Chains A and B, each alone.
Chain A
Amino acid sequence: MPLSLSDPNWYPIASSEDLPFRHVYQGQLLGRELAVWRADDGNVNVWENRCLHRGVRLSIGINEGQELKCQYHGWRYANQSAGCTYIPAHPADAPARRIENRKYPIREAFGLIWSAANDDQAYAPFPGSDGHDWFALRPMPVNATPEDVVAGLARLAPDDEPADLLPALVVRVGGVTWFVQPVDAGRAVIRGLLPEKPADELATLRHYNELLTKLRDRLERAAARKPAPEPLQPVFEKVSADLSTMPDIAVPRGNTLTVVVKRKWQSADGVIGFELADRDGKHLPTFQPGAHIDVHLPNGLVRQYSLTNGPGDLSRYVIGVKAESASKGGSKVLVETVREGDLLQISEPRNNFPLRRDATRTVLIAGGIGITPLLSMARFLDKSSLPYELHYFTRNDESAAFSSELGVLHGHVERHAGLARDAIRAKVAAVMGPYQFANHVYICGPGAMLEMVQQVAADLGWPDEAVHFEYFQNDKVIDSSSAFDVELARSAMTLHVPAGKTILETMREAGLTVPSSCEQGACGTCLTTVMEGEVDHQDVYLNKTEKASNTCMMTCVSRAKSDRLVLDI
């Protein structure tokens, strides 16, 4: 029976104990090399052993606990989803949402790690597995064809008690169940299970190890006399168009996921925590620190909430909601009417607040509910052992949320309760200090605090690109009274933008496909390069320096001060 690349069977590919924390195991199944690693939360990942950037083996990469870091250019991939969370060559940007490594199905059972070449067959425990406390033997790699290895194992049986040959290369001889992992056409690993833990574990392990060593030597001598089989030639699928191109419309509003409210609790005075999970227990999409989701509320409103999760924590999303929010009917609905067990529609995570991981010093400043994205950032920095300090300003001790989550961080976390406005300002100034190269500050909190910290930062000589903050919405009144022409350089087209219509709308009417998302100048999706003309910036996405450079604009709200704009579209 020749091996098939599309064999749907599940095979053991490692022992549980092969996967200590912070290790990357190198495995192979049916010709495909695998990088297998256990995250700090216990979850085991089985991925193609190839970084999709430059093809370097991920098995030489670094298991950072909840992310795997490629050794070559440092791309980070998240536990569970294998989604890319950080690209060091683009430290200020959030990686495209869809970059994701190839992963294989995984199950941990009976002291072994099981996987399959594809998802065609659901995992089922091997026959007779019930009711035993299985004990894994030392695996034995053999350079022989898997079928010859199966035959060799069967010959271990005494004549009066022949071996049981089961499907998927399983041989039962006496009390031992032997699994043959088909590594490649000419290579296999024998993995044995005893139904109970033996009295003298070490002696038993040695006994079977000796038995298998002799069997291996016999099988390899026999294999050396035969022509070596051609290795399997797995086809490495090309990166899909989805992955390698920009999506036409970045995040259509209607593209939602249904999640269930797993837990709702009072995290602090005035802060309610919500834990949202997939209904079938699958993992949720990849996110990066600073990311938020849109939550579609029962009353039809859509509100944005930052994720508080740490790296590779995709089993649930945890958000914090301010109970007495001024937003009429927004957070109020969540707090008052949504209960545990309810279903909610959310968007995939988006990130307008990306965290650089190349700073020599990172200062996180949170005000009130603004702790949520900064908690996520602190957790990422913490796992990567990067230096950071987190300052959390609250009205009083009782309103400090996520205390236990903050308590387990290793970085410098300081709470400041009940400070008056001037005292907060003085504290922020003292904490930030004069600007030094490669320092970055991230602020999230009430609008007044955002402006105050920006002012303090400017006074201390911090450049705009070192001061990071996020607006979820543009509260400014958009002035759309101007009328002007836009010349689209790449499309060789000149369009007239009349008063009352946006550049984006005008371009769409002319048949162009242009990405956009929030359409209120807050999310950054429609960012466009400006080649000529003077921009009338009305967004809250670009910072002062970017606006002053006059080289880019948001076409959803911003307009022209000049009669004509030339855009790189």
Chain B
Amino acid sequence: MITLYDFELSGNCYKLRLLMSILNLPYDIVPVDFFPGRQHKADWFLRLNPFGQLPVLKDDDLVLSDSGAILAYLAKKYDTSGLWFPDDPAITAEVLRWHAVADDITSTSSAARLALGYDYNFNIEKSQRGAHRIFRLMDEHLWFGEKAGRDWLCSPAHPTTADIACFPYVMLSEEGGISRQDYPALRRWTDRVRRIPGFTVMSGIFPAGPAKVD
């Protein structure tokens, strides 16, 4: 049985809830009071993850941390279609490249959100600038992707964990004072992610309506 150590307002925890919802995986939740309780720095939590970061996922006796690593684990173990984390070496590299971008989005967009909404002492302006720099590159990548008939961050014709990993803190960027007005292709991609069957929401992330059917 899978247990997720979860904070409801965490985009990194939401990545796992989102993939498990898409894969239709049952799991239990242990709520961790990240804010204001800082339980992720409590002794009992540090024994699970010495890095003191959410999320942590337990699958029977296996204890895993880092949202990107856990996304890869869940996909490889439970996604029978093999689409979410493809085996092909080149595509694996592509997906991991975007997992790294997702971490950059966390350290910028999420940091600005934590500074504005959760009393974190991060440099707001620097975090916002950093997020805009990444969003510009993502928008360009996705814009040229649309021109070439590619809907997702990676080259396959279907979404991968790269899309799941990058999605939450793009969508939550307004909470960090980062407008997405200048990134129309990025905004269209968020529509597509929100239309993946099995998509689920979190606070601050709204559903998209259905696509047009003829």
The residues of A with any CB-CB pair to B shorter than 8 Å are 14, 17-18, 20-23, 25-28, 33, 40, 60, 62-65, 69, 71, 138-139, 141, 189, 201-202, 205-206, 209, 385, 410
CB-CB under 8 A from A138, the residues of chain B are: 140, 143-144
Contact among A25, A69, A202, A206 for B187, CB-based, below 8 A: A25
Asked if B212 lies at the interface with its beta carbon under 8 angstroms from chain A, I say yes
CA–CA, A419 and B79, complex, Å: 54
CB-CB under 8 A from B1, the residues of chain A are: none
Known: A14-B184, A22-B191, A26-B180. A202 touches B148 (CB 8 A): yes
Contact-residue bracket for chain B: 20 to 34
CA–CA, A141 and B185, complex, Å: 13
CA–CA, A209 and B181, complex, Å: 19
Residue in A closest to B171 when the chains form the complex, CB atoms: A60
Q: List 19 A-B contacts (CB under 8 A).
A: A20-B188, A22-B191, A22-B209, A22-B210, A23-B188, A23-B191, A25-B187, A60-B206, A62-B208, A63-B209, A64-B209, A69-B209, A138-B143, A189-B182, A201-B147, A202-B144, A202-B147, A205-B147, A410-B213
CB-CB under 8 A from A18, the residues of chain B are: 184, 188
The residues of B with any CB-CB pair to A shorter than 8 Å are 140, 143-144, 146-148, 180-182, 184, 187-188, 191, 206-213
CA–CA, A18 and B184, complex, Å: 7
**How many contacts A-B (CB < 8 Å)?**
52
Are A21 and B211 closer than 8 Å at their CB atoms? yes
CB-CB under 8 A from A69, the residues of chain B are: 209
CB-CB under 8 A from A25, the residues of chain B are: 184, 187
CB-CB under 8 A from A209, the residues of chain B are: 140, 144
Residue in A closest to B188 when the chains form the complex, CB atoms: A23
CA–CA, A506 and B26, complex, Å: 69
Are A21 and B212 closer than 8 Å at their CB atoms? yes
Least Cβ distance of B197 to chain A in Å? 14
CA–CA, A23 and B181, complex, Å: 14
Residue in B closest to A34 when the chains form the complex, CB atoms: B181
* 4 new A-B contacts at CB < 8 Å, known A69-B209, A206-B144: A17-B146, A22-B211, A23-B187, A201-B147
CB-CB under 8 A from A14, the residues of chain B are: 184
Least Cβ distance of A145 to chain B in Å? 16
CB-CB under 8 A from B213, the residues of chain A are: 410
CB-CB under 8 A from B209, the residues of chain A are: 22, 62-64, 69
CB-CB under 8 A from A201, the residues of chain B are: 147
Least Cβ distance of A49 to chain B in Å? 9
Are B182 and A40 closer than 8 Å at their CB atoms? no
CB-CB under 8 A from B144, the residues of chain A are: 138, 202, 205-206, 209
CA–CA, A206 and B143, complex, Å: 11
Least Cβ distance of B42 to chain A in Å? 36
Contact among B143, B146, B210 for A385, CB-based, below 8 A: B210
CA–CA, A201 and B146, complex, Å: 13
CB-CB under 8 A from A205, the residues of chain B are: 144, 147
Residue in A closest to B184 when the chains form the complex, CB atoms: A18
CA–CA, A139 and B144, complex, Å: 12
Are B181 and A27 closer than 8 Å at their CB atoms? yes
